[in-house]
A = this chain, B = another copy of it.
């Protein structure tokens, strides 16, 4: 059985989404669920071997860095507990700098912004990331903004993990119109109802925030972030 999601009459987008060890699956799958209706979502990795996300689930790449289309409508990078490691990977940074030089939109969710920053792609751009990572944006040349989705010229970034759904709809509305984004929002039944008010440090309060910060730091210590690529 082959299923192809597509909206009749839409000019299909060419989208590259980076996979790397320790990426957060939901950072990527949120926007992929939106964007796969509107084009091809290339899942790009260093090799064709399945890539293990930080929750243990493994996704299969559709192409390598070398085989990824050179001219993209959208370049996308997710975050995850593997973010700091990939920020030091010259092969990945060179790939992002190359595709980013021509991509229509240069985008991220969560810690993906730090990886774009390490590749030199956020110099002077307003950007957001996971609440626990905001301090790492300025050293990479970006201008941190605490907002769910931030649009600055062709740089579009989403906050932590679940912000990827909001980000995907904002991006698609910009590229293919609000009516298309609304149609997909309806098919995804995106009328969220969080059972608790705990999704930001402000809502969760200082004790739970400190516990979250310590737990995340014990899994992947925030290191001195790399300087952006020249």
A contact set with B: CB distance below 8 Å: 1, 3-5, 7-8, 21-22, 24-26, 29-30, 32-33, 36, 41, 43, 50, 54-60, 62, 81-82, 85, 110, 130-131, 148-149, 159-163, 165-166, 169-170, 173, 178-179, 181-183, 185-196, 198-201, 203-204, 208-209, 211-212, 215-216, 219-220
Contacts and interface: CB of A to CB of B under 8 A. Distances in A.
B198 A185 contact: yes
Contact of A193 (B32, B166, B187): B166
A166 B188 contact: no
A8 to B, nearest CB: 8
Given A43-B57, A166-B195, A169-B195, 5 more contacts: A5-B219, A50-B60, A149-B193, A162-B189, A189-B200
A162 B186 contact: no
Contacts of A209: 186
B1 A193 contact: no
Contacts of A8: 215
A220 to B, nearest CB: 7
B24 A33 contact: yes
B60 A58 contact: yes
A222 to B, nearest CB: 14
A195 to B, nearest CB: 5
A193 B185 CA distance: 12
A66 to B, nearest CB: 20
A150 to B, nearest CB: 12
Contact of A198 (B81, B182, B203): B182
A175 to B, nearest CB: 13
